């Protein structure tokens, strides 16, 4: 991942970045601590990561002492859409909703206090050291900003390192 811009204003540090070909922006308090909670912001296909609704939400979150990140997913912002990809995204989202979402701890429950069960179908998250379901290579975990990303080093290409 490489930061393409790094600016500070009104107590907010704003860093635009690119991971592979995915553009994003990270907002943090200027006095960002080591364990600042991170909120992932999502937006509709007609918007992009720097649209006023996204930047406004980010400012509110940072004012509350949180960090916020927003990426342009495929088909959003400046990234191209494909009907096939959008169909797959829709299928996964429908499956996740039908299973009650993904609950990683007791803080993430529905209005009845019940956890979602979609996490049981995840192929990578939380599977460090376990075999990839596709090729049997041990899964790896990569920590990033107090979070973790899980991946198969054989099936998923490594991120490009900016020069």
CA 48, CA 56: separation in Å to the nearest integer? 13
Is 162 part of any domain?
A: no
Q: Are residues 93 and 143 in the same domain?
A: no
pLDDT at 162 over 60: no
Q: Are residues 7 and 63 in the same domain?
A: yes
Is 56 part of any domain?
A: yes
* CA 7, 13, 14, 15 torsion-angle sign: positive
pTM over 0.85: no
Indicate the length of the chain as a whole number.
163
- Identify whether the C-beta of residue 81 lies closer than 8 Å to the C-beta of residue 75: yes
SS3 state at 162 = coil
Residue 1's pLDDT is 67
Concatenated DSSP letters of 6-40: EEEETTEEEEEEEETTEEEEEEEETT--TT--EEE
- Dump pLDDT digits (tens) for 55-110: 999 999 999 999 999 988 777 777 766 777 778 888 888 888 888 877 666 777 77
Residue 110's pLDDT is 74
Residue 42's pLDDT is 82
Residue 160's pLDDT is 57
Which neighbouring-strand residues pair with 27? Answer: 14, 68
Q: Are residues 64 and 36 in the same domain?
A: yes
- pLDDT: is 23 or 79 the higher one? 23
Mean pLDDT across the chain, nearest whole number? 82
Residue 95's pLDDT is 87
- Identify whether the C-beta of residue 41 lies closer than 8 Å to the C-beta of residue 50: no
Q: Are residues 50 and 102 in the same domain?
A: no
- How many independent structural domains does the chain possess? 3
Q: Which domain holds residue 51?
A: 2-71
Residue 105's pLDDT is 67
Q: Are residues 127 and 107 in the same domain?
A: no
């Amino acid at each position: 991942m490489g930061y393409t811009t790094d600016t500070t204003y009104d107590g907010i540090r704003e860093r635009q970045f690119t991971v592979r070909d995915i553009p994003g922006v990270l907002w943090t308090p200027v006095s960002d601590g080591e364990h600042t909670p991170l909120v992932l912001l999502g937006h509709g296909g007609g918007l992009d990561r720097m649209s006023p609704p996204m930047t406004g939400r980010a400012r509110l979150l940072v004012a509350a002492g949180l960090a916020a990140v927003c990426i342009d997913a495929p088909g959003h912002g400046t990234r191209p859409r494909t009907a096939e990809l959008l169909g797959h995204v829709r299928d996964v989202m429908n499956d996740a909703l039908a299973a009650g979402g993904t609950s990683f701890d007791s803080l993430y429950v529905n209005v009845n206090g019940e956890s979602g069960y979609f996490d049981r179908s995840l192929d990578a998250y939380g599977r460090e050291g376990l075999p990839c379901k596709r090729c049997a290579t041990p899964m790896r975990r990569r920590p990033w900003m107090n979070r973790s990303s899980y991946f198969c080093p054989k099936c998923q290409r490594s991120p490009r390192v900016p020069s």
